[in-house]
Structures are given as C-alpha cells and as structure tokens.
Amino acid sequence: MPPMNSRRADTRKPKNTKATIKRLMSYLNEDKLRIGIAFVCVLVSAASNLAGSYMLRPIINNLVADVSAAERISVLVVNLVKMASIYAAGVLASFLQARIMIGVSQRALLKIRGDLFEKLQKLPVRFFDTNNTGDIMSRFTNDVDTIGEMLNSTLVQIFQGVVSLIGTLALMFYTNFWLSIVTIVIAPIMAKIGTTIASRSRKKFVNQQIELGRVNAYIEEIVTGQKVVKVFCHEQKVMDDFDGLNNTLRETQIKAQFAGGMMGPSMNAMSQVNYTLTAGVGSILVILSRLGRIGSLSALDIGGLTVFVNFSRQFSRPINELAQQLTVVMSALAGAERVFDVMDREPESEKGDIVLSNIKGDVIVDDVTFGYNPDKTILKNVSIYAHPGQKIALVGSTGAGKTTITNLITRFYDINSGKITIDGHDIYDIDRSSLRENIAVVLQDTHLFTGTVMDNIRYGRLDATDAEVRQAALTSNAHSFIRHLPDGYDTVLEGDGSNLSQGQRQLLNIARAALSKAPILVLDEATSSVDTRTERDINKGMDTLMENRTTFVIAHRLSTIRNADAIMVLENGEIIERGSHEELMKLKGRYYELYTGLKELD
C-alpha cells in the first residue's frame, strides 16, 4: 500500500525571494490600469496630508502676528476652509484607493486559488498519499489569506509610505535646512534597525506558517477519524498530542510575533529621539531668528517650528510603517512560496496520445516490478492476463500487493519496469483521461459528494439521463433503499453521506460504476463494508454489472470469488498460485489455507 500520510510539513528553506515577488506580481498584470489609478489616489491622499499639515504654518503665524483681531479671524477662517478642502480631497482619494485595491486583490486571489486548485487536479496520487490533507488545506486558507492581506493593503501602504517620506523630506528642507539635516542623520539608523529586524523575523514567519500547517493537518486527521478515537478511548492521547503541536505553534508564533512586534517600539523610540532633537534645536533657531543672529537659510518662525516638529513625526511614521509592513510582506512571501511549491510540483505525465474507443478489455500485466519507494519493491515480476469479459480475482495477505496492481492499471502510479497493455496498447501510449474513462473503479473507502443521491450516482457519467441513473441503481440493488429515503433520488446527502449507512454508501458507489459503462471494472474489496445479506443482494447485481466486462476483483471474503475465471494468489509481491477455485483447492496451498481458514471463521 502507499505510504501513510506524514504529519510533518515541508520544512525546506524559502526559495528565491525576488522570483517569488515577480511571480506574485504577475497575478496583477491584468489590473495594471486599476493599480495605476489607485496609486494616483495614493499620491493625492499623501499630497493632501502634507499640504494640510503645512497649512498650520500660516495659521499659527497669523495668530501671533501683530494685526487686528478682525483681520486675524478673517485669515484664520480662510486658511481653515482651505485646510478642510485639502483634507476632504485626501479622504475621497483614500476611499477610492481602498475600493479599487480590494477588487484588485480579490481578483488576484481568485486566480491564485484557481491555479492552485487546477494544479491539484493534475497532481499524481502519490502527492496526496505523501502530504497531509490539512497542510494542503492550510495553503488554500492561511497562506492565501496572508497573500491577500499583502495585496489588499500592504503594497499601497508601502507606496504611500515612500511618497509621504519623500514629500515630507522635501517640505522639511523647504521649511529649514539645518533642522532637516538633524532629522536625516537619524533616518539611516532607523532604516538599519528596521531592515535588521525584518531580516531576522523572516525565517520565524516561515516557521510559523509551517507549524500552522501541521496543526491544521492534525485537526483534519482527528476530526475525520473521530469515531475511531472514541471507540478506542484515545481522547486524552489526541489531546496530549494536540497540546504538543499547539504549544510548538504557540512558541513559534511568539517568536515570530515578537520579532515582528519589535519593529514598532524600536521605531517609536528612535522617533522620540528625533522629535526631542528637532524640538530642542528648532527652539534655539526660533530664538536666534527673533534676535536676528542667523541667516535666512537657518531662520525659523514659530509656525515653521510647529510645522517642522509635526513633519519630523510624519517623517518617522512612514519609516516605522514601512518597517512594520515588511513583516507582513515576509509572512505573505512565506505563504506564497508554500503555494507556489504546490504549483511547481510535477503533474501526472501525459505521454500518451492514443484515445481508446470500442475496446474489448484485453488487459495484460507483463513482468511488472514496482515500489512506492525506490528502496522497497512491492511487486516483483508480476504477470497477469485478463481476456475480454473475464473475471480475475486477486487474493492474498494484507500488503501482498493486490491494490497496487489496480493502482498501476489505472496509472495512479507508474511502473518501474515491465509493461501493461489494454487491447495491445501500452498504457503509457494511451491518453490518461481516455484510459481512466474506460476503467470503472469501486474502492473499499467510499466517498460521496454534497448533493442529491441522483447527483452522486451520475458522477459515474455526467451526461447520463435520470432513467439511466435509476437503471444503474437497480443493477446495483441500491434502488430498494433509495425509494425509502425521504425524498428518494432527490434526497440531499450530508457530510460524505453521513445520513446513510456504510453499506448504503457503498451501494451508491457501485451504482456509479454501473452507470459508467466502462469495459474494464476494478472492485477493490467493494463489498467489505456491507453485511452478508446485503452482500448477497449486491452480488446478484454485480453479476449483471460484470457481464461482458473485464473485471479485477479484490475480495477479503473468498466465497464471493468462487466463480472467477482465474484467481491469483499474491504473497510478498509475487504471484505464488494461479488457477480456478477448484484447481487451487486441489493444490491445498496458500489459497486452500486462506479459504478453509475463512470458512472456519464463518
């Protein structure tokens, strides 16, 4: 059997950051115009904030000027109206920018989720056998959500921060040259602190996403197997295991959030230092300006000092915000790399171009050797010949390789050596979709989708009519219980058919196979989940289902395969016996032991 899912998530280090950013931005190509308009709105918003702040200079200077009260009030009203108009324009621009970017980011996420889901449909079964469902789901949810957060607001905030930084610096130099130099001296120190913290927090955010994936995987695993947990009274054990994973996630998140959270306090501390220096030096310049002891380049009035102090705060704020946004970017890039990691996985190979039509069902497995892992061989030089319409049974101990053979015939896995042909065509030369359309599979593990009973049966052939669906149900003996359901064939199934018994769910799976009209049928312990009486009813329908079809049957109840044309007994990946039921019973070998042992159990 394929290897069991590991709860460990992918722990590889992040790939090329520049390549990830470039690839992420490619999802915005179709919205370049909208992004351009949004960035124009950002420019208007940033300009309005700067202009509004600078309006304080004439307002304050007017209040301390030696003019009449009436003139002072008149100038104040005019300036306040101008300031209100400027800020109103900024608010409107901010609203438009936010509205545009929400649409842009959601369209990008739509494409990312679509590409990720489409890629999942093309990945081989091996990927799902070796990766946790919860971890895969985490890439759809947590990782994509962090990307959405970055696209929705972070990009705009970074651009706005850069514009505000440049605009503030320009107005600061316009207001006073020497005070600007004092502020600029502090800026590189702030930038260095920000980049250092961001680079150290990047790895911690990657680890956070990995641990979150592990927790999600474990929750999905336990919720799915909740009945098993309760049957064996392992509630305390799973709680202890979850506590371990949860504590690891907590510790990882603390480290990541602490590393990212250090950005704000560090920047604020430097901002306060900058503010204190600016206020102190500025006050000295104002006093010297009033005394007329400095030149025009250094001259400063009270309004100018007020504006400059405000600008010094605004100057540090964009740096602070930019540094904080870097933590969001780091988290988003970590999520994007996990998403792209799935997108970059090798899909199922599509070597074949032969499209099967009107096939007879002549299947030959010729000298096939295979192993799920390179260092462990499961099948060793196995050969099976199934002529059209024959029923071939595969029996043997658990792990002997029975299901593996059917996995190879359907090309869920590719063989290491040997050859498998259908009507003389090597399955590697057959289009994969065409191959699987001609093989109906009924697995031991049932799976039903959300929808009506009729929809679930029709999954076997989507263009089937209602009459054909009902006929398939009759063939599989599912019709008798379906007509007793509350709404018959229109009954809506809940959570993987939880409102049906296990046997009823399997009957619907068999009805799907009956509907498919595929000339080759694989029954992988299809009746193992039903009681003996239901099995007898199914077997009656199965005889009709298998008529004129080449059928491979894996059965744990050997009494169900007595009428098989040939029975293959596998042990340790090799066929040790083959023949009809009567022939194998006469040999009194492994099949005889299995059959008589089972009869004794009965």
Three-state helix/strand/coil letters over 413-431: CCCCEEEEEECCEEHHHEC
User: CA angle, 597 as apex, 596 and 599 as ends, to 5°?
Assistant: 60
CATH of domain 349-438+549-602: 3.40.50.300
On whether the CB atoms of residues 409 and 421 are closer than 8 A, the answer is no
460 Cα distance to chain centroid = 27
Helix (H) or strand (E) run with residue 198 in it: helix 177-224
Query: Which residue is associated with the tokens 């100038």?
Result: 75
Q: What would you report as the CA-atom Rg of the chain, rounded to the nearest whole angstrom?
A: 36
- In angstroms, the first-to-last Cα distance of the chain is 27
Cα separation of 315 and 182, whole Å? 12
DSSP assignment letter at 29: G
DSSP conformation letters of 470-522: HHHHHHTT-HHHHTTSTTGGGPEEPTTTTTS-HHHHHHHHHHHHHHH--SEEE
Cα separation of 47 and 15, whole Å? 38
What φ, ψ does residue 381 adopt, rounded to 5°? 50, 50
**Count H helices, E strands: the chain?**
22, 12
Other CB atoms closer than 10 Å to residue 129's CB: what's the count?
A: 16
For 393, the 3-state DSSP assignment is strand
Other CB atoms closer than 10 Å to residue 42's CB: what's the count?
A: 24
Cα separation of 304 and 295, whole Å? 15
Q: Which residues pair with 392 in a beta bridge?
A: 552, 566
pLDDT of 180 reads: 80
Q: How many CA atoms lie within 13 A of 568 on its CB side?
A: 23
CA distances from 599 to 287, 323, 341 (A): 108, 74, 51
DSSP assignment letter at 139: I
Residue spans of the domains in the chain: they are: 26-343, 349-438+549-602
Cα separation of 58 and 33, whole Å? 38
User: Residues near 601 by Cβ (< 8 Å), separated by ≥ 6?
Assistant: none
Q: Which residues pair with 417 in a beta bridge?
A: 369
pLDDT of 184 reads: 76
Cα separation of 27 and 361, whole Å? 46
Could you tell me the CATH superfamily of domain 26-343? ABC transporter type 1, transmembrane domain (1.20.1560.10)
The tokens for 55 are 């309006």
Q: How many CA atoms lie within 13 A of 533 on its CB side?
A: 1
CA proximity to 440, closest of 366, 545, 563:
545
For 562, the 3-state DSSP assignment is coil
Query: Which residue is associated with the tokens 């054909």?
Result: 468
pLDDT of 534 reads: 65
DSSP assignment letter at 580: -
pLDDT of 539 reads: 67
DSSP assignment letter at 8: P
Q: pLDDT averaged over consecutive 10-residue blocks of the chain (602 residues)?
A: 36 61 88 90 88 81 71 82 89 90 90 91 85 82 87 81 84 81 75 71 79 84 76 81 90 82 72 76 77 66 79 72 76 87 84 82 92 86 90 86 89 90 91 88 80 89 90 86 90 80 83 86 74 66 75 78 87 90 89 70 32
Residue type, 322: L
pLDDT of 454 reads: 93
Cα separation of 57 and 302, whole Å? 8
Cα separation of 63 and 75, whole Å? 9
Cα separation of 601 and 112, whole Å? 55
Cα separation of 374 and 369, whole Å? 11
